[in-house]
Amino acid sequence: MAEVREGLYYSKEHEWVKVEGDVAVVGITDHAQDELGEIVFVELPEVGAEVNAGDSVASVESVKSASEIYTPVSGKIVEVNEKLQDEPALINNSPYDEGWIFKIELKDKSELNNLLDAAGYSEFIGA
């Protein structure tokens, strides 16, 4: 059974968002990494890029398939998780902690209202 953490926001594309002030940390959910299988490569977004909610900003490749990562919120990419270059499996082993993908400076916090809470995401994935 996939872990769904309270206090995070979730997209229907299986990204999670953790708000820290004006910055959001983004990664893929436990459910998503489980569906993908062993992740072997991560293409990170470009720091400084201005992106809009729904834009494809990164990708992950697993032994099964490749998958786009979409930003659930608009803003400017301010940091990427460089550890994923050498250890892409961090996403499998620790999707909500060590396996975060990027941090984005929020342009419009009201966009968070378009995302699901833990209960809504659990229902969405049938957990």
CB crowding 46-69: b at 16 or more within 10 Å, else e: eeeeebebeeebbebebeeeebeb
Alpha helices by DSSP H, listed for the chain, are 30-36, 83-86, 90-93, 118-125
Total-model pTM: 0.97
Residue 67 pairs in a beta bridge with 60
Tens digit of pLDDT for each residue in 71-116? Answer: 999 999 999 999 999 999 999 999 999 999 999 999 999 999 999 9
Boundaries of every domain in the chain:
10-108
Tens digit of pLDDT for each residue in 106-117? Answer: 999 999 999 999
Domain spanning 10-108 has what CATH number? 2.40.50.100
